[in-house]
Structure 1
Amino acid sequence: MTSHLTPYLGFRDDARQAMEFYQSVFGGELTLGTFGEMHASDDPDEADKIMHAQLVAPNGFLLMGSDTPNGMERSSTSNISLSVSGDDAEDLRRFFAALSEGGTVIEPLTVAPWGDEFGMLTDRFGVTWMVNVTGDVARSGADEGVHA
């Protein structure tokens, strides 16, 4: 048997826009289901809101999310960050650049004290991302001056 841990992001009325944005960054197939389609709310204001979204990217990433129903409080994500790491420097640098569009770069993507290339940002939907390019690939990219 196998178990998986999957990030599930909660939004306030902009889950569709956020998940379409993540699809533009990571690629893949996005499935969206609204509260209305799933008969999950009697509130007509929620009919077009996203009850469940799932993005399956070609590289195996799985990201889920939804709009928070009107009657529920949406908690802050300030204590949660999503981390994307690996040795595909080109993809990771592209992810960092795309995610930072309209967002705030907390730490630029640069060689960190542990030798990897690391950067941190908060995207335009308030989600914090950490991007880490591992080992020799990071150091060779730093020599070439390739950073977001």
Structure 2
Amino acid sequence: MAKLIPFLVSEDARAQAEFYINALGGEIQSVMTHGQLPDASEALKDKVLHMCVMAGGINFFMSDSVFESLNHGNGIQLNLEFPTEAEAREAFAKLGEGGTVKHPLEPAFWGSLFGQIEDKYGVIWMITNQAQASQA
């Protein structure tokens, strides 16, 4: 069975990773730079080739964009579901710093909170919490 690991390409992977760690908790688990490659280019030596980040309990990979410019798009969005409303609200607020609220975090018809933001790096996040069982 396959395992999905998001891979984010960034203009500054280190800064973007720190932003997510501050917003969601976690740590950078490993970093490999272009300078570690055989015959590395001096101009690229400090650029991130591969970074493993744990943030919000999720592993994802990152790298700096060095061979082509980034084009932000809306074809992929990352959904974070939190066990509690408080955790969802905190993540929404922190990931939204410097970004754009696309849909405010509010109760949805299916019984949980839902909100959508584009962070300051152009990544679109959907934030939810676990739906509560309806009371009869």
TM-score (norm 2): 0.85
State the match for 2:63 in structure 1: 66
- Rounded to whole Å, the distance in 2 between the matches of 1:27 and 1:33 is 21
- Rounded to whole Å, the distance in 2 between the matches of 1:117 and 1:111 is 4
Q: How does 1:26-65 map to 2 (within 5 A)?
A: 26-30=24-28, 31-36=30-35, 38-39=36-37, 42-57=40-55, 60-65=57-62
Gaps of 5+ in 2: none
C-alpha offsets along residues 1-20 of structure 1, whole Å, 9 cap, x if unaligned?
x53101100112x1110011
Higher strand share: 2
| Cα distance, 1:4–1:125 mapped onto 2, change above 3 Å | same
Q: How many residues align?
A: 133
C-alpha offsets along residues 31-82 of structure 1, whole Å, 9 cap, x if unaligned?
222211x22673322111111111124x63112110122x335343321110
Gaps of 5+ in 1: 140-148
State the match for 2:10 in structure 1: 11
Alpha-carbon shift at residue 88 of structure 1 (Å): 2.3
Match of 2:78, SS state, is strand
Identity of aligned residues (%): 33
- Contact 1:35 1:41 (C-alpha < 8 Å) held by counterparts: no
| Structure 1 residue runs of 4 or more that deviate by more than 4 Å after TM superposition | none
State the match for 1:22 in structure 2: 20
